[in-house]
Amino acid sequence: MDQIVQIGPRKRPPLPPWFRVKLPSGERLQRFQGIDAAVHENRLHTVCEEARCPNIHDCWSRGSATFMIAGQTCTRNCRFCSVGHRRTPPPLDPQEPHNLAAAIDSMNLTYAVITCVNRDELPDGGARHYRACLDGVHARLPRVGLEFLCSDLDGNETALAALLNGAPLKVFAHNVETVERLQSSVRDRKASFSKSLRMLEAAKELRPEIFTKSSIMVGMGETNADMTTTLQALRRVDVSLLTLGQYLAPSQAHYPIMSYPPPEQFDAWKQEALTMGFSAVASGPLVRSSFRAGQLYEEAQKTANKRE
């Protein structure tokens, strides 16, 4: 196995060669171009573009995209994240459910991931608004698969129940972001590993028929032992879908990159996770939490069917 490229704090050399991106061709290129045209003609906003995701060509050409709702500023200030921070963000947009549905419709998607900022200033953490957005999309586009990447709702399980009860979801996701040992160094003080685990566990208790999903960034100083401990914790709360990807610091003011694990290491982590019982795993330097989300769901569904 190749040796992990170690990085000193506050230094960022050129990316390793395994960060090259392959562009789509043929029918997939035409599909990407169609979605790209719809986004710009309708002045739509996607996480794919705003976060400069390296997988935008891959996912759009496969008919999936990711949207962020509830504003562009977050009530938390995690050290890894480029989203703006405000203790009191602007009010929620009551037209957002309609506008979101129209955006997804115009892009001719088959699968949509909807994510959100933290809204700790709201009594329910924004859960009622998130549910309205899911219902709005489903009412207009019942054939589009929906995945929701949720905040921890500050641990409010009553709000989580209101969000999930009858919600038209294929996957409920919540990211633990990093290994358990590094949580306090990387995430906002309002977040915790135990709170995130409990929200994933509670979601599965409330809706046992839907898949739960989480994501881990690597290259932040974790060890293989840290990874094993964290994966085991996720399996104990019955998380089925997992994504593992390289952390890339948005700026020098953010948490530093500590290493660039090679593709072979990502493959080893994937095999370890599958051996533990995860139904579907996407693992690689360029993988992000919504990477090939529709395909990962389908893979998990096939695995679940085989186990029945």
pLDDT, one tens digit per residue, over 155-173 is 999 999 999 999 999 999 9
For 144, the domain range is 5-307
**Given this model, what pLDDT does residue 31 score?**
64
Cβ atoms of 75 and 87 within 8 Å: the answer is yes
Closest C-alpha to 55, from 284, 300, 302, 298: 284
Per-residue three-class SS string for 231-250: HHHHHHCCCCEEEEEECCCC
Cβ atoms of 41 and 35 within 8 Å: the answer is no
Instruction: Give the whole-angstrom CA distance, residue 179 versus residue 283.
Output: 15
**Given this model, what pLDDT does residue 2 score?**
44
Low-confidence residues of the chain, pLDDT below 70? 1-13, 19, 21-25, 28-63
Q: For residue range 278-306, list pLDDT tens digits in order.
A: 999 999 998 988 888 999 999 999 998 88
**Given this model, what pLDDT does residue 3 score?**
47
Distance from the first to the final alpha carbon of the chain: 36
**Given this model, what pLDDT does residue 1 score?**
44
Residue whose tokens read 């976060």: 51
Task: Looking at the chain, list the stretches that DSSP marks H as alpha helix, in order from N- to C-terminal side.
Answer: 26-41, 47-50, 56-61, 96-106, 127-140, 157-164, 183-186, 193-206, 224-236, 263-276, 293-307
| Number of structural domains found in the chain | 1
CATH number at residue 9: 3.20.20.70
Phi, psi values for residue 115, rounded to 5°: -125, 175
Cβ atoms of 252 and 214 within 8 Å: the answer is no
Cβ atoms of 261 and 227 within 8 Å: the answer is no
Cβ atoms of 70 and 92 within 8 Å: the answer is yes
- What's the angle, vertex CA 63, arms to CA 59 and CA 66, rounded to 5? 60
Closest C-alpha to 288, from 31, 66, 45, 85: 66
Closest C-alpha to 195, from 154, 229, 163, 161: 154
